[in-house]
Protein backbone atom coordinates (compact mmCIF):
# COMPACT_ATOMS: atom_id res chain seq x y z
CA UNK A 1 0.00 0.00 0.00
CA UNK A 2 3.03 2.33 0.00
CA UNK A 3 2.55 3.83 -3.40
CA UNK A 4 2.51 6.80 -5.69
CA UNK A 5 0.06 7.15 -8.52
CA UNK A 6 1.82 7.50 -11.86
CA UNK A 7 -1.27 8.28 -13.95
CA UNK A 8 -3.22 11.51 -14.12
CA UNK A 9 -6.43 11.42 -12.09
CA UNK A 10 -9.29 13.89 -12.31
CA UNK A 11 -11.04 14.38 -8.98
CA UNK A 12 -14.57 15.76 -9.04
CA UNK A 13 -15.75 16.89 -5.63
CA UNK A 14 -19.51 17.15 -5.23
CA UNK A 15 -20.27 19.53 -2.38
CA UNK A 16 -17.11 21.52 -3.01
CA UNK A 17 -18.37 24.54 -1.06
CA UNK A 18 -18.70 22.50 2.13
CA UNK A 19 -16.46 22.34 5.12
CA UNK A 20 -14.94 18.95 4.32
CA UNK A 21 -13.48 20.12 1.00
CA UNK A 22 -11.73 23.08 2.52
CA UNK A 23 -10.72 21.44 5.77
CA UNK A 24 -9.67 17.96 4.62
CA UNK A 25 -9.90 17.14 0.91
CA UNK A 26 -7.93 20.00 -0.66
CA UNK A 27 -5.26 20.03 2.10
CA UNK A 28 -4.83 16.25 1.64
CA UNK A 29 -4.58 16.54 -2.14
CA UNK A 30 -2.12 19.41 -1.77
CA UNK A 31 -0.02 17.31 0.58
CA UNK A 32 -0.02 14.40 -1.88
CA UNK A 33 1.02 16.85 -4.59
CA UNK A 34 3.78 18.24 -2.37
CA UNK A 35 5.07 14.75 -1.58
CA UNK A 36 4.83 13.90 -5.30
CA UNK A 37 2.59 10.97 -4.54
CA UNK A 38 0.33 11.93 -7.42
CA UNK A 39 3.25 11.68 -9.79
CA UNK A 40 1.03 11.46 -12.86
CA UNK A 41 -0.64 14.73 -11.90
CA UNK A 42 -4.16 15.66 -10.92
CA UNK A 43 -7.04 17.90 -11.91
CA UNK A 44 -9.59 18.82 -9.31
CA UNK A 45 -13.04 20.03 -10.25
CA UNK A 46 -15.25 21.41 -7.51
CA UNK A 47 -18.97 21.06 -8.17
CA UNK A 48 -21.68 22.58 -6.00
CA UNK A 49 -24.70 24.83 -6.12
CA UNK A 50 -23.14 28.17 -5.28
CA UNK A 51 -21.97 30.24 -8.20
CA UNK A 52 -18.29 31.12 -8.33
CA UNK A 53 -15.44 31.35 -10.80
CA UNK A 54 -12.34 29.14 -10.93
CA UNK A 55 -10.43 32.04 -9.38
CA UNK A 56 -12.87 32.42 -6.50
CA UNK A 57 -12.78 28.70 -5.85
CA UNK A 58 -8.97 28.76 -5.77
CA UNK A 59 -9.00 31.69 -3.33
CA UNK A 60 -11.45 29.86 -1.04
CA UNK A 61 -9.35 26.72 -1.07
CA UNK A 62 -6.28 28.80 -0.23
CA UNK A 63 -8.08 30.03 2.89
CA UNK A 64 -8.51 26.38 3.85
CA UNK A 65 -4.79 25.75 3.37
CA UNK A 66 -3.92 28.74 5.56
CA UNK A 67 -6.26 27.56 8.28
CA UNK A 68 -5.78 23.79 8.24
CA UNK A 69 -2.59 22.79 6.44
CA UNK A 70 -0.06 21.59 8.97
CA UNK A 71 3.20 21.28 7.02
CA UNK A 72 5.44 24.08 5.77
CA UNK A 73 5.37 24.73 2.02
CA UNK A 74 6.84 27.04 -0.61
CA UNK A 75 4.50 29.56 -2.21
CA UNK A 76 5.55 28.21 -5.59
CA UNK A 77 4.19 24.77 -4.66
CA UNK A 78 0.74 26.26 -4.07
CA UNK A 79 0.97 28.33 -7.27
CA UNK A 80 1.62 25.16 -9.27
CA UNK A 81 -1.08 23.20 -7.45
CA UNK A 82 -3.79 25.83 -7.76
CA UNK A 83 -3.59 25.76 -11.55
CA UNK A 84 -5.15 22.30 -11.34
CA UNK A 85 -8.22 23.56 -9.46
CA UNK A 86 -11.42 24.27 -11.41
CA UNK A 87 -15.02 24.90 -10.51
CA UNK A 88 -18.33 24.00 -12.13
CA UNK A 89 -21.48 25.41 -10.50
CA UNK A 90 -24.47 23.11 -10.71
CA UNK A 91 -27.33 21.40 -9.00
CA UNK A 92 -27.03 17.77 -7.86
CA UNK A 93 -30.48 17.09 -9.28
CA UNK A 94 -30.19 18.79 -12.71
CA UNK A 95 -29.20 16.54 -15.61
CA UNK A 96 -28.18 19.53 -17.72
CA UNK A 97 -25.61 20.52 -15.15
CA UNK A 98 -24.01 17.09 -15.39
CA UNK A 99 -23.76 17.55 -19.16
CA UNK A 100 -21.85 20.79 -18.54
CA UNK A 101 -19.65 18.88 -16.14
CA UNK A 102 -19.07 16.26 -18.85
CA UNK A 103 -17.96 19.03 -21.23
CA UNK A 104 -15.55 20.37 -18.65
CA UNK A 105 -14.16 16.88 -18.10
CA UNK A 106 -13.64 16.42 -21.84
CA UNK A 107 -11.55 19.60 -22.08
CA UNK A 108 -8.28 18.28 -20.74
CA UNK A 109 -8.67 14.66 -20.01
CA UNK A 110 -5.76 12.42 -19.24
CA UNK A 111 -4.68 9.33 -21.06
CA UNK A 112 -5.96 7.02 -19.65
CA UNK A 113 -8.88 9.15 -18.52
CA UNK A 114 -9.12 8.26 -14.81
CA UNK A 115 -11.82 9.85 -12.70
CA UNK A 116 -12.60 9.81 -9.04
CA UNK A 117 -15.94 11.30 -8.03
CA UNK A 118 -16.04 12.30 -4.38
CA UNK A 119 -19.51 12.64 -2.84
CA UNK A 120 -19.08 15.20 -0.08
CA UNK A 121 -22.58 16.55 -0.66
CA UNK A 122 -25.51 16.17 1.77
CA UNK A 123 -26.36 12.43 1.88
CA UNK A 124 -29.90 12.88 0.55
CA UNK A 125 -28.34 13.76 -2.82
CA UNK A 126 -26.14 10.64 -3.10
CA UNK A 127 -28.68 8.72 -5.26
CA UNK A 128 -29.30 11.76 -7.54
CA UNK A 129 -25.60 12.34 -8.09
CA UNK A 130 -24.89 8.72 -8.99
CA UNK A 131 -27.92 8.56 -11.30
CA UNK A 132 -27.03 11.81 -13.05
CA UNK A 133 -23.41 10.74 -13.47
CA UNK A 134 -24.68 7.56 -15.06
CA UNK A 135 -27.13 9.40 -17.35
CA UNK A 136 -24.37 11.69 -18.55
CA UNK A 137 -22.26 8.63 -19.40
CA UNK A 138 -19.72 9.52 -16.76
CA UNK A 139 -19.41 6.22 -14.87
CA UNK A 140 -18.78 3.80 -17.72
CA UNK A 141 -15.24 2.45 -17.52
CA UNK A 142 -13.64 2.27 -20.94
CA UNK A 143 -10.42 4.22 -21.26
CA UNK A 144 -9.73 4.75 -17.58
CA UNK A 145 -11.23 4.05 -14.18
CA UNK A 146 -14.42 5.64 -12.86
CA UNK A 147 -14.68 5.39 -9.08
CA UNK A 148 -17.06 6.95 -6.61
CA UNK A 149 -16.07 7.77 -3.04
CA UNK A 150 -19.08 8.09 -0.74
CA UNK A 151 -18.91 9.94 2.54
CA UNK A 152 -20.75 8.88 5.67
CA UNK A 153 -23.46 8.63 6.85
CA UNK A 154 -24.37 5.79 4.52
CA UNK A 155 -28.09 5.55 5.25
CA UNK A 156 -29.76 6.27 8.54
CA UNK A 157 -30.89 2.71 9.30
CA UNK A 158 -30.76 -0.74 7.72
CA UNK A 159 -33.64 -0.10 5.35
CA UNK A 160 -32.32 3.19 3.99
CA UNK A 161 -28.80 1.74 3.63
CA UNK A 162 -30.21 -1.22 1.67
CA UNK A 163 -32.18 1.13 -0.59
CA UNK A 164 -29.10 3.28 -1.14
CA UNK A 165 -26.92 0.25 -1.89
CA UNK A 166 -29.51 -1.05 -4.35
CA UNK A 167 -29.84 2.32 -6.02
CA UNK A 168 -26.14 2.91 -6.55
CA UNK A 169 -25.61 -0.70 -7.65
CA UNK A 170 -27.93 0.09 -10.60
CA UNK A 171 -25.23 2.40 -11.95
CA UNK A 172 -22.02 1.13 -10.41
CA UNK A 173 -20.29 -2.15 -9.84
CA UNK A 174 -19.30 -2.73 -6.17
CA UNK A 175 -15.65 -2.52 -7.28
CA UNK A 176 -16.23 1.12 -8.30
CA UNK A 177 -17.67 2.12 -4.92
CA UNK A 178 -15.46 3.37 -2.08
CA UNK A 179 -17.49 3.99 1.10
CA UNK A 180 -15.30 6.08 3.32
CA UNK A 181 -14.80 5.86 7.07
CA UNK A 182 -11.96 8.22 7.86
CA UNK A 183 -11.01 6.18 10.97
CA UNK A 184 -9.64 3.51 8.65
CA UNK A 185 -7.27 6.07 7.14
CA UNK A 186 -5.67 6.78 10.51
CA UNK A 187 -2.18 5.28 10.78
CA UNK A 188 -2.81 4.08 14.31
CA UNK A 189 -5.97 2.27 13.27
CA UNK A 190 -4.15 0.52 10.43
CA UNK A 191 -1.45 -0.35 12.90
CA UNK A 192 -3.88 -2.47 14.94
CA UNK A 193 -3.54 -5.15 12.26
CA UNK A 194 0.23 -4.87 12.08
CA UNK A 195 0.48 -4.98 15.85
CA UNK A 196 -1.67 -8.11 16.05
CA UNK A 197 -0.47 -10.00 13.00
CA UNK A 198 3.19 -9.00 12.58
CA UNK A 199 4.19 -9.85 16.14
CA UNK A 200 4.22 -13.39 17.43
CA UNK A 201 3.92 -12.42 21.07
CA UNK A 202 0.43 -10.91 21.24
CA UNK A 203 -1.78 -13.05 19.02
CA UNK A 204 -1.45 -16.28 21.07
CA UNK A 205 -2.90 -14.49 24.12
CA UNK A 206 -5.52 -12.52 22.15
CA UNK A 207 -8.54 -14.56 23.13
CA UNK A 208 -11.02 -15.57 25.84
CA UNK A 209 -8.40 -17.62 27.73
CA UNK A 210 -6.35 -14.57 28.65
CA UNK A 211 -8.48 -11.48 28.06
CA UNK A 212 -11.02 -10.42 30.67
CA UNK A 213 -12.62 -7.71 28.56
CA UNK A 214 -11.98 -5.05 25.93
CA UNK A 215 -12.82 -1.35 26.14
CA UNK A 216 -13.06 0.95 23.15
CA UNK A 217 -13.36 4.63 23.96
CA UNK A 218 -13.76 7.45 21.46
CA UNK A 219 -14.09 10.58 23.59
CA UNK A 220 -14.35 14.08 22.17
CA UNK A 221 -13.98 17.32 24.08
CA UNK A 222 -15.88 19.32 21.45
CA UNK A 223 -19.66 19.60 21.34
CA UNK A 224 -21.88 19.45 18.28
CA UNK A 225 -20.68 22.89 17.11
CA UNK A 226 -22.37 24.31 14.02
CA UNK A 227 -23.78 20.87 13.07
CA UNK A 228 -26.49 20.88 15.75
CA UNK A 229 -29.39 20.59 13.30
CA UNK A 230 -27.81 17.64 11.49
CA UNK A 231 -26.69 16.02 14.71
CA UNK A 232 -30.11 16.25 16.29
CA UNK A 233 -31.40 13.79 13.67
CA UNK A 234 -28.45 11.50 14.02
CA UNK A 235 -27.06 11.26 17.56
CA UNK A 236 -24.00 9.41 18.72
CA UNK A 237 -25.14 5.93 17.63
CA UNK A 238 -25.43 6.83 13.96
CA UNK A 239 -22.62 9.40 14.00
CA UNK A 240 -19.93 7.33 15.74
CA UNK A 241 -20.91 3.75 16.56
CA UNK A 242 -22.31 2.45 13.27
CA UNK A 243 -19.05 3.38 11.57
CA UNK A 244 -15.96 4.36 13.58
CA UNK A 245 -16.48 2.27 16.73
CA UNK A 246 -17.58 -0.79 14.79
CA UNK A 247 -14.51 -0.51 12.57
CA UNK A 248 -12.32 -0.51 15.66
CA UNK A 249 -14.23 -3.44 17.11
CA UNK A 250 -13.75 -5.51 13.95
CA UNK A 251 -10.02 -4.78 13.79
CA UNK A 252 -9.52 -5.87 17.39
CA UNK A 253 -11.68 -8.95 17.15
CA UNK A 254 -11.33 -10.34 13.62
CA UNK A 255 -9.41 -13.46 12.65
CA UNK A 256 -6.15 -13.03 10.72
CA UNK A 257 -6.93 -12.69 7.01
CA UNK A 258 -4.95 -15.03 4.78
CA UNK A 259 -3.70 -12.22 2.52
CA UNK A 260 -3.39 -8.46 2.81
CA UNK A 261 -5.95 -7.88 0.10
CA UNK A 262 -9.19 -5.98 0.20
CA UNK A 263 -11.56 -8.92 -0.18
CA UNK A 264 -9.74 -11.12 2.34
CA UNK A 265 -9.76 -8.29 4.91
CA UNK A 266 -13.35 -7.37 4.29
CA UNK A 267 -14.45 -11.00 4.54
CA UNK A 268 -12.91 -11.30 8.01
CA UNK A 269 -14.42 -7.99 9.14
CA UNK A 270 -17.85 -8.98 7.94
CA UNK A 271 -17.51 -12.40 9.59
CA UNK A 272 -16.72 -11.01 13.02
CA UNK A 273 -19.34 -8.28 12.84
CA UNK A 274 -21.93 -10.90 11.97
CA UNK A 275 -20.90 -12.80 15.11
CA UNK A 276 -21.62 -9.81 17.35
CA UNK A 277 -24.72 -10.65 19.37
CA UNK A 278 -27.34 -7.92 18.77
CA UNK A 279 -28.58 -6.14 21.87
CA UNK A 280 -32.29 -6.86 21.72
CA UNK A 281 -35.27 -5.53 23.67
CA UNK A 282 -34.62 -7.54 26.82
CA UNK A 283 -31.03 -6.34 27.16
CA UNK A 284 -31.35 -2.68 26.18
CA UNK A 285 -31.79 -1.59 29.77
CA UNK A 286 -28.91 -3.65 31.14
CA UNK A 287 -26.43 -3.41 28.25
CA UNK A 288 -26.71 0.18 27.11
CA UNK A 289 -26.38 3.66 28.55
CA UNK A 290 -27.50 6.82 26.78
CA UNK A 291 -26.90 10.37 27.86
CA UNK A 292 -26.89 13.98 26.73
CA UNK A 293 -24.55 16.75 27.80
CA UNK A 294 -26.02 19.57 29.83
CA UNK A 295 -26.52 22.58 27.56
CA UNK A 296 -27.18 20.56 24.39
CA UNK A 297 -30.85 21.58 24.36
CA UNK A 298 -29.91 25.24 24.26
CA UNK A 299 -28.06 24.89 20.94
CA UNK A 300 -29.66 26.50 17.88
CA UNK A 301 -31.09 23.77 15.67
CA UNK A 302 -31.78 21.32 18.50
CA UNK A 303 -35.45 20.54 19.05
CA UNK A 304 -37.01 21.35 22.42
CA UNK A 305 -36.94 18.25 24.63
CA UNK A 306 -34.68 16.42 22.17
CA UNK A 307 -33.98 12.87 23.35
CA UNK A 308 -30.91 12.55 21.14
CA UNK A 309 -27.96 10.93 22.89
CA UNK A 310 -24.61 12.69 22.64
CA UNK A 311 -23.03 9.87 24.69
CA UNK A 312 -23.57 6.13 24.69
CA UNK A 313 -21.93 3.12 26.28
CA UNK A 314 -22.69 -0.44 25.19
CA UNK A 315 -21.73 -3.97 26.09
CA UNK A 316 -21.46 -6.44 23.26
CA UNK A 317 -20.58 -10.13 23.17
CA UNK A 318 -19.13 -11.92 20.18
CA UNK A 319 -20.46 -15.39 19.60
CA UNK A 320 -17.47 -17.29 18.29
CA UNK A 321 -14.74 -19.56 19.68
CA UNK A 322 -12.21 -16.81 20.25
CA UNK A 323 -14.41 -14.40 22.16
CA UNK A 324 -17.23 -16.34 23.80
CA UNK A 325 -18.03 -14.72 27.16
CA UNK A 326 -15.63 -11.74 26.76
CA UNK A 327 -17.48 -8.43 27.05
CA UNK A 328 -16.58 -5.64 24.65
CA UNK A 329 -17.42 -2.26 26.16
CA UNK A 330 -17.79 0.57 23.65
CA UNK A 331 -18.36 4.20 24.57
CA UNK A 332 -18.28 7.52 22.81
CA UNK A 333 -19.45 11.00 23.62
CA UNK A 334 -19.10 14.68 22.95
CA UNK A 335 -18.12 17.42 25.44
CA UNK A 336 -16.12 15.00 27.55
CA UNK A 337 -13.10 15.87 29.60
CA UNK A 338 -10.46 15.19 26.96
CA UNK A 339 -10.17 14.06 23.38
CA UNK A 340 -8.91 10.51 23.34
CA UNK A 341 -9.52 7.45 21.19
CA UNK A 342 -8.17 4.26 22.68
CA UNK A 343 -8.54 0.51 22.81
CA UNK A 344 -7.83 -1.08 26.17
CA UNK A 345 -7.22 -4.80 26.47
CA UNK A 346 -7.68 -5.85 30.06
CA UNK A 347 -6.00 -9.22 30.68
CA UNK A 348 -7.13 -11.69 33.32
CA UNK A 349 -5.31 -12.04 36.62
CA UNK A 350 -2.83 -14.91 36.83
CA UNK A 351 -4.74 -18.14 37.60
CA UNK A 352 -2.72 -18.91 40.71
CA UNK A 353 -0.68 -16.56 42.84
CA UNK A 354 2.12 -17.99 44.91
CA UNK A 355 3.22 -14.61 46.27
CA UNK A 356 1.81 -13.59 49.63
CA UNK A 357 0.05 -10.26 49.25
CA UNK A 358 -0.78 -7.78 51.97
CA UNK A 359 -4.39 -7.91 53.10
CA UNK A 360 -6.86 -6.11 50.81
CA UNK A 361 -4.34 -6.05 48.00
CA UNK A 362 -5.06 -8.00 44.84
CA UNK A 363 -2.63 -8.31 41.99
CA UNK A 364 -3.18 -5.80 39.19
CA UNK A 365 -4.03 -7.48 35.91
CA UNK A 366 -1.96 -6.57 32.84
CA UNK A 367 -3.25 -3.86 30.58
CA UNK A 368 -2.46 -3.12 26.99
CA UNK A 369 -3.66 0.20 25.61
CA UNK A 370 -3.57 1.14 21.95
CA UNK A 371 -3.60 4.93 21.87
CA UNK A 372 -5.15 5.97 18.57
CA UNK A 373 -5.19 9.73 19.08
CA UNK A 374 -4.14 12.33 19.96
CA UNK A 375 -1.10 10.95 21.80
CA UNK A 376 -0.48 8.09 19.39
CA UNK A 377 1.29 5.03 20.69
CA UNK A 378 1.01 1.78 22.60
CA UNK A 379 1.16 1.51 26.32
CA UNK A 380 1.34 -1.62 28.48
CA UNK A 381 1.52 -2.20 32.20
CA UNK A 382 3.03 -5.18 33.93
CA UNK A 383 3.99 -6.17 37.45
CA UNK A 384 7.53 -5.91 38.80
CA UNK A 385 9.06 -6.62 42.17
CA UNK A 386 9.75 -3.52 44.21
CA UNK A 387 13.50 -3.53 44.96
CA UNK A 388 14.53 -4.21 48.49
CA UNK A 389 11.17 -5.65 49.47
CA UNK A 390 10.23 -9.26 50.09
CA UNK A 391 7.71 -9.68 47.29
CA UNK A 392 6.04 -6.34 47.09
CA UNK A 393 4.84 -5.69 43.54
CA UNK A 394 4.10 -2.61 41.50
CA UNK A 395 2.55 -1.99 38.09
CA UNK A 396 4.97 -0.24 35.77
CA UNK A 397 4.48 1.11 32.24
CA UNK A 398 6.11 0.15 28.98
CA UNK A 399 5.54 2.75 26.29
CA UNK A 400 5.89 3.29 22.58
CA UNK A 401 5.14 6.74 21.21
CA UNK A 402 4.95 7.49 17.50
CA UNK A 403 6.35 10.99 18.02
CA UNK A 404 9.48 9.62 19.72
CA UNK A 405 10.13 6.86 17.20
CA UNK A 406 9.10 8.59 14.00
CA UNK A 407 9.12 12.35 14.73
CA UNK A 408 6.37 14.79 15.56
CA UNK A 409 4.92 15.15 12.07
CA UNK A 410 5.15 11.53 10.95
CA UNK A 411 1.43 10.90 10.90
CA UNK A 412 -0.36 12.15 7.78
CA UNK A 413 -4.02 13.05 7.76
CA UNK A 414 -6.31 10.05 7.29
CA UNK A 415 -7.78 11.51 4.10
CA UNK A 416 -4.40 11.48 2.37
CA UNK A 417 -4.11 7.72 2.66
CA UNK A 418 -7.72 7.17 1.65
CA UNK A 419 -7.60 9.44 -1.40
CA UNK A 420 -4.40 7.83 -2.59
CA UNK A 421 -5.72 4.30 -2.04
CA UNK A 422 -8.88 5.15 -3.97
CA UNK A 423 -6.83 6.36 -6.96
CA UNK A 424 -4.93 3.08 -6.78
CA UNK A 425 -8.13 1.03 -6.61
CA UNK A 426 -7.14 -0.41 -3.24
CA UNK A 427 -10.40 -0.86 -1.33
CA UNK A 428 -8.88 -2.41 1.82
CA UNK A 429 -9.62 0.67 3.89
CA UNK A 430 -13.12 1.19 2.56
CA UNK A 431 -16.34 -0.42 3.71
CA UNK A 432 -18.15 -3.04 1.65
CA UNK A 433 -21.96 -2.90 1.35
CA UNK A 434 -22.53 -6.00 3.52
CA UNK A 435 -20.49 -4.61 6.42
CA UNK A 436 -22.43 -1.35 6.35
CA UNK A 437 -25.70 -3.28 6.53
CA UNK A 438 -24.53 -5.52 9.36
CA UNK A 439 -23.54 -2.37 11.29
CA UNK A 440 -27.07 -1.07 10.96
CA UNK A 441 -28.48 -4.43 12.08
CA UNK A 442 -26.69 -3.86 15.39
CA UNK A 443 -27.52 -0.17 15.77
CA UNK A 444 -31.20 -0.20 14.74
CA UNK A 445 -32.58 -2.30 17.64
CA UNK A 446 -30.79 -0.09 20.16
CA UNK A 447 -32.15 3.16 18.76
CA UNK A 448 -35.60 1.60 18.41
CA UNK A 449 -35.42 0.18 21.93
CA UNK A 450 -34.55 3.58 23.39
CA UNK A 451 -37.36 5.20 21.44
CA UNK A 452 -40.06 2.64 22.20
CA UNK A 453 -39.19 1.45 25.67
CA UNK A 454 -37.78 4.71 27.04
CA UNK A 455 -35.24 2.65 29.04
CA UNK A 456 -32.59 3.22 30.15
CA UNK A 457 -33.56 6.80 30.72
CA UNK A 458 -31.57 9.51 29.02
CA UNK A 459 -29.02 10.61 31.62
CA UNK A 460 -27.57 14.11 31.72
CA UNK A 461 -23.82 14.61 32.12
CA UNK A 462 -21.75 17.67 32.80
CA UNK A 463 -19.60 19.04 29.98
CA UNK A 464 -15.97 18.39 30.87
CA UNK A 465 -16.74 15.17 32.77
CA UNK A 466 -16.11 11.60 31.61
CA UNK A 467 -19.84 11.02 31.05
CA UNK A 468 -22.78 10.14 33.27
CA UNK A 469 -22.47 8.40 36.62
CA UNK A 470 -24.80 5.70 35.21
CA UNK A 471 -21.99 4.62 32.91
CA UNK A 472 -19.69 4.05 35.89
CA UNK A 473 -22.38 2.08 37.71
CA UNK A 474 -22.95 0.07 34.55
CA UNK A 475 -19.30 -1.08 34.69
CA UNK A 476 -19.28 -1.46 38.45
CA UNK A 477 -22.16 -3.95 38.24
CA UNK A 478 -19.77 -6.43 36.66
CA UNK A 479 -16.89 -5.50 38.99
CA UNK A 480 -15.07 -3.45 36.35
CA UNK A 481 -14.26 0.18 35.73
CA UNK A 482 -13.70 2.41 32.73
CA UNK A 483 -10.10 3.09 31.98
CA UNK A 484 -8.49 6.08 30.29
CA UNK A 485 -4.95 4.88 29.73
CA UNK A 486 -3.76 7.18 26.99
CA UNK A 487 -4.78 10.64 28.17
CA UNK A 488 -2.85 10.51 31.43
CA UNK A 489 -5.88 9.71 33.58
CA UNK A 490 -5.59 6.08 34.66
C1 LIG B 1 -17.07 12.30 12.34
C2 LIG B 1 -18.29 12.65 13.15
O3 LIG B 1 -17.32 11.18 11.52
O4 LIG B 1 -15.99 12.00 13.22
C5 LIG B 1 -18.01 13.82 14.05
O6 LIG B 1 -19.35 12.96 12.27
C7 LIG B 1 -16.79 13.56 14.91
O8 LIG B 1 -19.12 14.11 14.88
C9 LIG B 1 -15.63 13.10 14.03
O10 LIG B 1 -16.47 14.75 15.59
C11 LIG B 1 -14.47 12.64 14.91
O12 LIG B 1 -13.35 12.42 14.09
P13 LIG B 1 -11.88 12.50 14.70
O14 LIG B 1 -11.01 12.10 13.55
O15 LIG B 1 -11.67 13.89 15.17
O16 LIG B 1 -11.86 11.51 15.84
**Which residue out of 153, 239, 312 has the highest number of ligand 1 atoms within 8 Å of its CB and is therefore the one to mutate?**
239
Distance in angstroms (rounded) separating the CA atoms of residues 286 and 309: 17
The confidence score (pLDDT) of residue 463 equals: 98
Ligand 1 centre distance from Cα of residue 240 (Å): 7
Distance in angstroms (rounded) separating the CA atoms of residues 213 and 424: 38
C-alpha distance from residue 337 to each of 9, 168, 293, 299, 484 (Å) = 42, 41, 12, 19, 11
Could you read off the pLDDT of 33-48 as tens digits, one per residue?
999 998 788 999 999 9
Distance in angstroms (rounded) separating the CA atoms of residues 100 and 89: 9
Atom of ligand 1 nearest to the CA of 414: 14
**Which residue out of 151, 220, 417 has the highest number of ligand 1 atoms within 8 Å of its CB and is therefore the one to mutate?**
220
**Which residue out of 218, 230, 244 has the highest number of ligand 1 atoms within 8 Å of its CB and is therefore the one to mutate?**
244
Ligand 1 centre distance from Cα of residue 6 (Å): 32
Atom of ligand 1 nearest to the CA of 373: 16
The confidence score (pLDDT) of residue 39 equals: 76
Ligand 1 pocket, Cβ-based, cut-off 6 angstroms: 220, 239, 341
Annotation marks residue 244 as catalytic? yes
Which ranges of the chain have pLDDT less than 70? 1-5, 490
Cβ count near 66 (within 10 Å): 8
Atom of ligand 1 nearest to the CA of 186: 14
Q: For the chain, give the number of residues.
A: 490
- Are 48 and 121 spatial neighbours (Cβ–Cβ below 8 Å)? yes
Return the DSSP state at 318: B
Nearest CA to ligand 1 atom 2: 239
- Are 338 and 221 spatial neighbours (Cβ–Cβ below 8 Å)? yes
Ligand 1 centre distance from Cα of residue 427 (Å): 21
Cβ count near 234 (within 10 Å): 16
The three-point CA angle 219-328-331 to 5° equals 20
Phi and psi, residue 412, nearest 5°: -75, 165
Ligand 1 centre distance from Cα of residue 334 (Å): 10
The confidence score (pLDDT) of residue 19 equals: 93
Q: Give the list of residues 6+ apart from residue 471 with CB closer than 8 angstroms, or none.
A: 289, 291, 311, 313, 331, 459, 482
Nearest CA to ligand 1 atom 10: 220
Return the DSSP state at 347: E
Could you read off the pLDDT of 228-240 as tens digits, one per residue?
999 999 999 999 9
Surface-to-core class of residue 259, CB atoms within 10 Å of its CB (0-12 exposed, 13-18 middle, 19+ buried): exposed
The confidence score (pLDDT) of residue 1 equals: 43
Cβ count near 230 (within 10 Å): 14
Q: Give the list of residues 6+ apart from residue 13 with CB closer than 8 angstroms, or none.
A: 21, 25, 44, 45, 46, 47, 118, 120
Atom of ligand 1 nearest to the CA of 152: 3
Antiparallel, parallel or unpaired: β 211-219 and 340-347: antiparallel
The confidence score (pLDDT) of residue 320 equals: 98
Nearest CA to ligand 1 atom 9: 240
The confidence score (pLDDT) of residue 111 equals: 78
- Can you list the domains of the chain with their CATH numbers? 8-151 (3.40.50.720), 184-410+431-476 (3.30.360.10)
Atom of ligand 1 nearest to the CA of 220: 10
| The model's pTM | 0.95
Amino acid sequence: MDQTNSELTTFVIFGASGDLTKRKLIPSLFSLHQKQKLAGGCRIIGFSTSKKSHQEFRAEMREGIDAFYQSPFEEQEWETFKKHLFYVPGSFTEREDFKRLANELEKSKGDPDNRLYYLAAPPRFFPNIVENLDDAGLVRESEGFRRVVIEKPFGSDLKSAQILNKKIHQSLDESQIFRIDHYLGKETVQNVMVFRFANAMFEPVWNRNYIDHVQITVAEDVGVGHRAKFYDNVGVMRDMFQNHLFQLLTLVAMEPPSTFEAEALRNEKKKVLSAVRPILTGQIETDTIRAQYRGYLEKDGVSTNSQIATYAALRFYIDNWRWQGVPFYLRSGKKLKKKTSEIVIQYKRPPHLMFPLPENRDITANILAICLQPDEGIHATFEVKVPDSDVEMKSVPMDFKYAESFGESAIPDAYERLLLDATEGDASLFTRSDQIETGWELVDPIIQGWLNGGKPELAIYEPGSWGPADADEFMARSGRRWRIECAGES
